[in-house]
């Protein structure tokens, strides 16, 4: 198909589908489940990676900047998952 020849268009379509999946999981009533919340957070981290690489053009940046961007995404996602896990244990 002519529409999906460019990489950026395919990435945009994947981001849109990931957003729909996250919304469906969150509105399914199962959002209270810690596994569902973890899946949504992981999807968000993957989306952040795609946005940074393809829309902010970090993939053409120096290696050190790529490393710090990936580390930032992993740190934020891990912190959210740990805080969510801790809140589950406390309650």
65: its two tokens: 């900047």
**pLDDT bucket at 86, cuts 50 / 70 / 90:** confident
Nearest alpha-carbon partner for 21 in 4, 41, 48: 41
According to the model, what pLDDT value does residue 85 have?
85
According to the model, what pLDDT value does residue 47 have?
96
The pLDDT tens digits of the residues spanning 17-68 come to 999 999 888 886 655 677 888 899 999 999 999 999 988 989 899 999 999 9
Is the pLDDT confidence value at 15 over 90? yes
**Collapsed DSSP state (helix, strand, coil) of residue 28:** coil
Q: What's the rounded Cα separation, in Å, for the pair 70 and 39? A: 19
Measured between its terminal Cα atoms, the distance across the chain in Å is 51
Cα–Cα separations (whole angstroms), residue 83 to 22, 36, 79: 20, 15, 6
């Amino acid at each position: 198909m002519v529409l999906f020849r460019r990489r950026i268009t395919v990435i945009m379509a994947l981001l849109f589908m990931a957003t729909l999946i996250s919304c469906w999981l969150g509105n399914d009533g199962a959002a209270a489940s810690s596994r569902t919340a973890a899946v949504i957070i992981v999807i968000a981290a993957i989306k952040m990676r795609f946005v940074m690489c393809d829309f902010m053009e970090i993939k053409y940046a120096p290696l050190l900047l790529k490393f710090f961007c990936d580390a930032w995404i992993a740190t934020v996602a891990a912190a959210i998952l740990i805080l969510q896990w801790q809140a589950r244990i406390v309650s």
